[in-house]
Amino acid sequence: MNIQQHVQEKAQAAKRASYKLSTLSTQIKNDALCGMAKSIEQHADLIQLENAKDLKAGKEKDLSAAMLDRLTLTEKRIADMAAGLREVAALPDPVGAIERMVRRPNGLQIGKMRVPIGVIGFIYESRPNVTADSTALCLKSGNAILLRGGSEAIHSNLCLARLLSDAAQTAGVPEGAVALIETTDRAAVTEMLHARGLVDLIIPRGGKGLIRTVVENSLIPVIKHYEGVCHVYVDDEADLDMAERIVFNAKVQRPGVCNAMETLLIHSDVADILIPGLFGQLTQAGVELRGCERTREIAPEIAEATEKDWRTEYLDLILSVKIVDSLEEAMAHINTYGSAHTDAIVTENYFTARRFVGGVDSSSVMVNASTRFSDGGEYGLGAEIGISTDKLHARGPMGLEELTTYKWVVYGEGQIRE
């Protein structure tokens, strides 16, 4: 296979399809999504046959048990994929909405209309069900999608992409709108990242190595989820019972995800009261604690937190703790060491809450709530293609609207400029 040609042809077809997709009716898009769901259900056996090839190869390559589990398409997971497609069909279509149309003094009517971005290049690793989820979101928002999955899931992805693409076309979606790069050669990724004028946006989803490769080599805009070094700051005017509940939830409820807390900041005035009970609870839940010097004066049994800890996304039952003397010190720590993902304050003081919300430069800033709520579903977006830790275009959970851009629409009656 000529890889350059393969990627170019897929990208060109996607671009051609994208012009038609942008004006496709909501009905056809929803029919396509429901048809895709049905096809996946009907071909569950075929999907599992192809998935078995990936699992066999994975075992031969000595993939970890966790990796193999993520790779496996059980009956339930296949049913969940179909359900996910139908859920996206039920969401409102973001395309065509016009915001703030104004009438100018010369009579021109001018507004911003939501339109698809065009062609999304989606580069992802491991879990093959992401193939269906991402395709659903792109299609509903009127975008063509060029998929590039991980090599370990190639058979599953090829099968899924073919089923999805065929069902979409049957419903009236233009050919080429759903396409998978059919090679595991890494050169194909480079081709995608260089396909300026064809691919409009790259969204990578996977480990930090993948993200870094994409960012460093892409000539196309990238929106990425890098990491979640999330903080909870317990203010001196916090309700300490509430603080305990929020801190415990943010760390323990699901430690392996990006919106789990990694660093706890405590105001020095309440550290003595809060720490003994809280640390007991956390330790009992299996959390390994690492503290700053002042924290260790109160809790000498815990390990020392180093400079590296403040920057680390543990994704595990580990928590670094720092005592600060003021809101300003807490905010400076978050803005310096955080990853601009999600940060929360616990306080009863109205002005402190407002200053925290204004001064912390993160994609989600919370008052008296667990960082674990930072999620498209919890925010009411219905579904999400990812969480952006970038600052441009989209921040935080990205749903259908974040997969659109706008164009200016100008209606006149023959106006010319003097």
Q: Give the range of 67-75, 171-179, 280-288, 360-368 binding a second copy by CB under 8 A.
A: 360-368
Q: Are 301 and 279 in contact (CB under 8 A)?
A: no
Interior CA angle at 236 toward 230 and 240, to 5°?
A: 75
Is the Cβ–Cβ distance between 143 and 120 less than 8 Å? yes
Q: Which of residues 21-40 bind a second copy (CB under 8 A)?
A: 22-23
Residues of this chain, 118-177, that bind a second copy according to CB under 8 A: 118
> Do 278 and 244 contact (CB within 8 A), yes or no?
yes
State yes or no: residue 350 binds a second copy (CB under 8 A). no
**Site for a second copy (CB under 8 A): which residue of 28, 57, 113, 318?**
113
First to last CA, the chain: 58
Q: What is the three-class DSSP state of 246? A: helix
Q: Single out the residue of 179, 141, 150 nearest to residue 30, CA to CA.
A: 141
Q: How far is the CB of 357 from a second copy (least distance, A)?
A: 6
Contact 120, 400 (CB under 8 A): no
Indicate the residue among 160 and 198 with the shorter CB distance to a second copy. 198
The verdict on 370 binding a second copy (CB under 8 A) reads yes
**Sequence-ordered list of residues with C-beta below 8 angstroms from that of 300, at least 6 positions apart, any chain:** none
Of the candidate spans 107-115, 124-132, 226-234, 262-270, the one that interacts with a second copy by CB under 8 A turns out to be 107-115
State which of residues 166, 236, 239, 329 lies at the interface with a second copy (CB under 8 A).
239
Rounded to a whole number of angstroms, the minimum distance from the CB of residue 54 to a second copy is 32
Rule CB under 8 A: say whether 209 interacts with a second copy: no
In this complex, which beta carbon is closest to a second copy, that of residue 9 or of residue 411? Answer: 411
Exactly one of 59, 208, 212, 407 binds a second copy (CB under 8 A); that residue is 407
The residue within the footprint of a second copy, chosen from 17, 32, 63, 115 (CB under 8 A), is 115
The C-alpha atoms of residue 218 and residue 215 are separated, in whole angstroms, by: 6
Out of 322, 372, 383, 385, the residue judged to bind a second copy by CB under 8 A: 372
3-state SS class at 7? helix
By CB under 8 A, the residues from 382 to 401 that bind a second copy are: 390-393, 395-397
Q: Restricting to residues 301-320, which ones interact with a second copy according to CB under 8 A?
A: none
Query: 166 or 175, CB closer to a second copy?
Result: 175
Q: Quick check: helix, strand or coil at residue 167?
A: helix
Full strand arrangement of the beta sheet holding 178-180 = 178-180, 144-148, 119-124, 201-205
Please tell me whether residue 413 binds a second copy under the rule CB under 8 A: yes
What is the size of the binding site for a second copy (CB under 8 A)?
Answer: 71
- Which helix (H) or strand (E) covers residue 123, if one does? strand 119-124
